[in-house]
Structure 1
Amino acid sequence: MSNVLVTGGTGFIGSWCALALLEAGHDVRTTVRDLKREPELRALLHGATEFEDARLTVFRADLNSDEGWAQAVAGCDFVLHVASPTLRHSPESEEAMISAARDGVLRVLQASRDAGVKRVVLTSALGAVAYGHPRRSEPFTEEDWTNVDADIAPYQRSKTLAERAAWEFVRTGGDGLELAAVHPAAVIGPVLGPDDPPSLRTIRGMLDGRLPACPPFGTGWVDVRDVADLHLRAMTDPAANGERFLATAGPSLRIVEVSRILRARLGDRAAKAPTKEIPLAVARALAMVNPVMRSLRPQLGHDFNATSAKAERVLGWRPRPIGDSIAETAESLLAHHAVPA
């Protein structure tokens, strides 16, 4: 078994990647920005699987600093670089978000190269593939790149520029370091504990009534457990080197379709889930005055449909039915009291 570093181990995707690695028999290192969160992380992982404490090592490292990365990656065979600025821990400005994402990935890649790591798997996003394009009927693939010069949100711009910087680093200065990238669509799935990841805000808002009507757009959805599985496949399969892999469980779903699945699967417990979609003209008008709708403005009216055929064909990846993931996400949020009763 290998020694693997997972950056951002307390995050939603990072914690599930660490769990999958431990269950597969690997020794895991992970980074956190504050070592005070180490007991919390160990408790979450111990609550989901049994492992010897010595198989998990936690390091302090921050994307905005060189400190700690050489120590964290020393002796590792592989690195899963999951950490990136998110909607919860976003810097104050777009420039700071882009800098943290781009400079952070370069720090991790440089430390990995210098330590003799075989391969880095970068957690990118559908946001680095499908944004800034005219509306289209054909699904997006790994050949597509987000147009960073278009009207897109800072998060999508930061993910795109960070990934482009990663590929350029490996091409010009990687010295044999291998790279693969995983591009999840909207990530849902059960939480490991009481943490409340931003990626589940939509379903949480449907359950608690804070989302009275659905914004008019659609996107792909994928279970966090399947995202972790794809990271492990991309880590070890020789065919993954130098490749990008979209992760989505079937065609895109409108937000209102997700809400209707919640109602159908949870019954009265999803009674507050909206059944109507906001008309596009109304949504665009609301974006002028409503901060939440303003953040969604570049997405309104679009359908970010993508295909994971490449991951299925090349790596044998098989995502679970998205209806099951939607229901299990809601069950998990309710069980961990992330949604008021």
Structure 2
Amino acid sequence: MSQTVVVTGGTGFIAQYCILALLDAGYRVRSTVRSLAREAEVRGHLKVAGAEPGDRLSFVVADLTADAGWAEATAGCAYVIHGASPTPTGDQTREDEWIRPAVDGNLRVLRAARGAGVKRVVLTSAFGAICAGHGPMNRPFNETDWSDLTAKNIWPYQKSKTLAERAAWDFIAHEGRGLELSAVNPVTVLGPVLGADYSHSIRLIKNIMDGQPGNPKINSGFVDVRDVADLHLRAMTQAAAKGERFLAIAGESMWLADVAKVLKERMGPAGSKISTRALPNAVVRLGALKDPALRGAVPLLGLNLNATSEKAMRLLGWTARPREEAIVATAESLIRLGLLADS
């Protein structure tokens, strides 16, 4: 296959596994980064996974907040996998510092793809565009659900993902001019870490392995990054994926205390620090008064966030490895790369 696929945000966890899957399938890949200084890091991560693509992988500087570079990035490409997403850091806490770059960035990529004659864009959205703002559900979340942004306690991240995905669908409906769109909405993404710059979701496993004193009563779905990448490729090439969104989850959701139990049982001596205790909600709420990292957890306490990937399985033939395998693979990679405390 001589087709070139753009993968935006090549420094990202999911993006790097999409690059690996594309290379394995015979594509050439062009990745966007905000600085070419990150190229060596990305290539180093791919090498950890056993890939040394040479000139089959190239890099272009393009930032979601500016037009420069996007026409060059998409020129001559058949598909775009758009996983780049702005993540404000430091004192960037205002909602518009999350939302504006996410919405504008999606539109920037879609306009460039349309202008370059790209066939289809696969958008890496999130479960946060599906599950936020809902009370207790009597069924698993599915692709017909959208986050309710009128509800209280919606995180800026969830708002940005929801508004950015809606903006993308609106663009396709009114200005797409034949450009196709599919979206992938993964739950918490785990799997083998490739380097020290890992995603927020990996920190859940790291914290458990490092011996956090207990587990908030938080429920989450889990999915392996390798299966998320596979779903992106299926959404990119299969006719049935046109105009559809696909939730990615392996089996049913789990409580964090049960995740800790899996690790305790499967990791042997490496799991000696693990606490399988479920923290009382009152303890978490009290801790959130002092610890900003806990504040986001409070609205989720006790909520079952189960979801289903029946649609991806039925339409695209997608399957996911067991959630336990994703959990254990994450922990094993953290140990292998020396990323746990005291390692």
TM-score by length of 1: 0.96
Aligned length: 340
Amino acid at match of 1:271: S
Conservation of the 8 A alpha-carbon contact between 1:259 and 1:275: yes
Structure 2 residue runs without a partner (length 5+): none
Amino acid at match of 2:316: L
| Residues 83 and 251 of structure 1: CA distance in aligned 2, closer, same or farther (over 3 Å) | same
Match of 1:152 in 2: 154
Question: Residues 79-121 of structure 1, C-alpha deviation per residue, up to 9 Å, x if partnerless?
Answer: 0000112476894422111111111000000000011000000
Distance in 2 separating the partners of 1:145 and 1:79: 24
Distance in 2 separating the partners of 1:88 and 1:316: 38
Match of 1:186 in 2: 188
Distance in 1 separating the partners of 2:215 and 2:51: 40
Conservation of the 8 A alpha-carbon contact between 2:88 and 2:98: no
Match of 2:240 in 1: 239
Conservation of the 8 A alpha-carbon contact between 1:102 and 1:158: yes
Distance in 1 separating the partners of 2:53 and 2:84: 24
Distance in 2 separating the partners of 1:277 and 1:130: 23
Distance in 2 separating the partners of 1:252 and 1:87: 28
Match of 1:175 in 2: 177
Distance in 1 separating the partners of 2:226 and 2:335: 19
Match of 2:75 in 1: 74
Match of 1:311 in 2: 312
Match of 1:35 in 2: 36
Conservation of the 8 A alpha-carbon contact between 1:196 and 1:338: no
Percent pairwise identity: 52
Deviates more, 1:268-277 or 1:74-83: 268-277
Distance in 1 separating the partners of 2:49 and 2:18: 12
Distance in 1 separating the partners of 2:78 and 2:167: 22
Distance in 2 separating the partners of 1:89 and 1:24: 39
Q: Report the Cα offset of residue 197 of structure 1.
A: 2.4
Match of 1:208 in 2: 210
Question: Residues 217-242 of structure 1, C-alpha deviation per residue, up to 9 Å, x if partnerless?
Answer: 10100000000000000000000000
Deviates more, 1:162-171 or 1:295-304: 295-304
Question: What are the equivalent positions in structure 2 for 1:50-61 lying under 5 Å apart?
Answer: 50-61=51-62
Q: Does 1:62 align with 2:63?
A: yes
Conservation of the 8 A alpha-carbon contact between 1:85 and 1:91: no
Could you say what secondary structure the match of 2:67 adopts?
A: coil
Q: Does 1:299 align with 2:300?
A: yes
Match of 1:198 in 2: 200
Conservation of the 8 A alpha-carbon contact between 1:220 and 1:304: yes
Q: Report the Cα offset of residue 191 of structure 1.
A: 1.2
Deviates more, 1:173-182 or 1:192-201: 192-201
Distance in 2 separating the partners of 1:309 and 1:114: 34
Conservation of the 8 A alpha-carbon contact between 1:5 and 1:72: yes
Match of 1:97 in 2: 98
Match of 1:136 in 2: 137
Question: Residues 194-251 of structure 1, C-alpha deviation per residue, up to 9 Å, x if partnerless?
Answer: 3332220110011112x21111110100000000000000000000000010000011
Distance in 2 separating the partners of 1:333 and 1:262: 13
Conservation of the 8 A alpha-carbon contact between 2:218 and 2:297: no
Q: Report the Cα offset of residue 289 of structure 1.
A: 2.9
Distance in 1 separating the partners of 2:36 and 2:182: 29
Could you say what secondary structure the match of 2:267 adopts?
A: helix
Structure 1 residue runs without a partner (length 5+): none
Conservation of the 8 A alpha-carbon contact between 1:284 and 1:300: no
TM-score by length of 2: 0.96
| Residues 50 and 292 of structure 1: CA distance in aligned 2, closer, same or farther (over 3 Å) | closer
Match of 1:118 in 2: 119
Conservation of the 8 A alpha-carbon contact between 1:132 and 1:146: yes
Q: Does 1:329 align with 2:330?
A: yes
Conservation of the 8 A alpha-carbon contact between 1:87 and 1:198: no
Amino acid at match of 2:184: V
Distance in 2 separating the partners of 1:25 and 1:194: 28
| Residues 302 and 100 of structure 1: CA distance in aligned 2, closer, same or farther (over 3 Å) | same
Conservation of the 8 A alpha-carbon contact between 1:98 and 1:154: yes
Deviates more, 1:211-220 or 1:18-27: 211-220
Distance in 2 separating the partners of 1:120 and 1:128: 18
Distance in 1 separating the partners of 2:198 and 2:52: 25
Distance in 1 separating the partners of 2:265 and 2:337: 21
